[in-house]
Structure formats: structure tokens, C-alpha cells
């Protein structure tokens, strides 16, 4: 069942996403060679709690941390650890959810660590472009298949593949609501989008083959062929004419400056 949100509810969702966007920027400040993913997790958790919100990934189906930190060939749901040290040339997807006033924000960003190869930077640029092209389709009267097909086509024309096992989702009082928002599909298929739907669009793009395996920790999804993967996510309200992006990368952009892609 898809819950349409009122304008007031959408403003509450924007507030949760604003805290999230600022938390990701705090993490961005700390990302450099030598830092552990556990250190990043602590920064995010403290920032979110200091802003009167709850890091809602923590405890979700037993997930043990605030952030999902997925490095290089890890796609999503990497668990922060004091044994994972970032190094020059890595990429790291940082994904988290924030609960405030009863509504969840959800957003993710893949950061380069220091200098990253041009090949991998292209993967990051393409994945982000997939996200924004998908968002352009999140308007009244389009269908979910238009979002999925747009993301898939854009990734595949660059020579990449999209993950099938993990998808975007509706979001609101629950972190994961209907509808499912796949990063693949066929134009003109699927649920018709209505004003007031709020969805998290989150392309996961593989530089190699699309197959993923779950590591022994029961969470971390990584590329079976160990090729790098990227992941960007924004929560978006469907509107007439133009999608309303509730999350924000603006604070990340302030931190990264000219390194922002």
C-alpha cells in the first residue's frame, strides 16, 4: 500500500533529510587515507543525535551501526569497522537513515578517497548522473518503469550494469515503504506516479558484472567479480512538473569544493 504524504508531512521528511545531508558532510570532512570506517560511523551518529534525531539504520533488522560504509567492490550495507582503513584511491559509499518527528530521511553518497583513477571517477560521475536522470522521471503521470528504464539505459550505455537484488523504495513513517523502485525496467510499465508519493531513488552501478554476493557478516553486498561499484541516493517527493528533492548534497559540495563532481 502506497501512502501519499501531505505537504506538512513532506516538510517533516525534508527536515530529517536536512540533518542527514549535514551528517554526510561531517563524514566528508573526515574521509582521508588512514581513517577507519568505524571513526566515520561515530562522527555520523554523534552529529545525528546532537541534532535531536535518531540514526535509524542502527538496530534495523539487527543492523549494528549508523552508517553503511561500502568500500570499492562493496556495493551496499558494508559494516563500519575499526579494521577497515581507507587508503588513497579507494571509493566509499556512505549510506544512512535519519528519523525525526516520526519520518525517515534516506540518502547515500560515494566519495573518492584522495586521488582516484580516471576510470573509477567515470563510474562515480555516471552513477550520479543515473540518479539525477531517474529523478527527472519522478513526476506525476510517469510510471516507476520510466525511472528504472532511464537509470538502466544510462548505466548500460556507459558500459556498466545495474544491481537487481537491491532497489529503491517508498519512504515515510517506515524506512522501507511501497512502492519498490528498481534501477531497471521498461518505459511505460509499473505503478503510475502520483503527487505526494515519496521515494528513495538509489542507483547501484557495477563497473563489472552485475552479480553480487553477501559476505559472511550477513550484510555486506559486494561485486562477485570484485570490480568497483558506486551508489548514490536521494529521497524525492513526486510532484506535478518537477520532482522535489528532499535530501541534499549541498553540504557535501561545500566540503568537497572543486572536488565535487
233 binds ligand MF3 (CB under 6 A): yes
Minimum gap (Å) between residue 118 Cβ and Co ion: 29
Minimum gap (Å) between residue 200 Cβ and ligand MF3: 6
139 binds, among Co ion, ligand MF3, none (CB under 5 to 8 A by kind): none
Minimum gap (Å) between residue 216 Cβ and Co ion: 24
116 binds, among Co ion, ligand MF3, none (CB under 5 to 8 A by kind): none
Q: Cell 522501507: give the residue.
A: 176
The answer to whether 209 and 160 are in contact (CB under 8 A) is: no
Return the sign of the alpha-carbon dihedral for residues 187, 191, 193, 198.
Answer: negative
Name the DSSP class of 152: H
- 3-state SS, one letter per residue, for 202-238: CCEEECCCCCEEECCCCCCEEECCCCCEEECEEEEEC
The answer to whether 39 and 30 are in contact (CB under 8 A) is: yes
Query: Closest by alpha carbon to 61, among 103, 22, 97, 24?
Result: 97
Task: List the helix and strand counts (H, then E) for the chain.
Answer: 5, 15
214 binds ligand MF3 (CB under 6 A): no
| Site residues (CB under 6 A) for ligand MF3, limited to 42-61 | 57, 60-61
Residue 112 has which C-alpha cell? 573518492
| Site residues (CB under 6 A) for ligand MF3, limited to 186-205 | 200, 202
On the 0-12 / 13-18 / 19+ scale of CB atoms within 10 A, 39 is middle
Minimum gap (Å) between residue 243 Cβ and ligand MF3: 18
Give the number of residues in contact with ligand MF3, rule: CB under 6 A.
12
- Please select the residue that binds ligand MF3; options are 3, 63, 85, 132, rule is CB under 6 A: 63
- Please select the residue that binds ligand MF3; options are 40, 48, 53, 68, rule is CB under 6 A: 68
- Please select the residue that binds ligand MF3; options are 73, 95, 129, 177, rule is CB under 6 A: 95
Interface positions with ligand MF3 (CB under 6 A) = 57, 60-61, 63, 68, 77, 95, 97, 106, 200, 202, 233
Interface positions with Co ion (CB under 5 A) = 106, 200, 202
Amino acid at each position: 500500500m502506497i501512502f501519499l504524504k501531505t505537504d506538512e508531512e513532506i516538510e517533516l521528511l525534508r527536515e530529517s533529510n536536512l540533518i542527514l545531508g549535514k551528517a554526510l558532510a561531517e563524514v566528508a570532512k573526515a574521509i582521508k587515507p588512514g581513517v577507519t570506517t568505524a571513526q566515520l560511523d561515530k562522527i555520523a551518529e554523534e552529529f545525528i543525535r546532537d541534532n535531536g534525531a535518531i540514526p535509524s539504520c542502527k538496530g534495523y533488522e539487527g543492523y549494528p551501526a549508523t552508517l553503511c560504509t561500502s568500500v570499492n567492490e562493496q556495493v551496499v550495507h558494508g559494516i563500519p569497522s575499526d579494521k577497515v582503513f581507507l587508503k588513497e584511491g579507494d571509493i566509499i559509499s556512505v549510506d544512512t537513515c535519519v528519523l525525526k518527528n516520526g519520518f525517515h530521511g534516506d540518502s547515500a553518497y560515494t566519495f573518492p578517497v584522495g586521488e582516484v583513477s580516471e576510470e573509477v571517477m567515470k563510474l562515480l560521475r555516471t552513477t550520479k548522473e543515473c540518479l539525477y536522470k531517474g529523478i527527472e522521471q519522478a513526476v506525476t503521470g510517469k510510471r516507476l518503469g520510466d525511472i528504472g528504464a532511464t537509470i538502466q539505459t544510462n548505466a548500460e550505455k556507459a558500459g556498466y550494469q545495474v544491481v537487481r537484488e537491491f532497489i529503491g523504495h517508498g519512504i515515510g513513517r517506515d524506512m522501507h515503504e511501497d512502492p519498490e523502485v528498481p534501477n531497471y525496467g521498461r518505459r511505460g510499465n509499473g505503478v503510475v506516479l502520483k503527487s505526494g508519493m515519496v521515494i528513495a531513488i538509489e542507483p547501484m552501478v557495477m563497473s563489472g558484472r552485475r552479480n553480487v554476493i553477501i559476505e559472511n557478516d550477513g550484510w555486506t553486498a559486494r561485486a562477485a567479480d570484485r570490480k568497483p561499484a558506486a551508489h548514490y541516493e536521494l529521497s524525492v517527493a513526486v510532484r506535478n512538473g518537477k520532482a522535489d528533492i528532499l535530501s541534499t548534497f549541498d553540504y557535501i559540495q561545500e566540503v568537497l569544493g572543486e572536488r565535487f563532481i
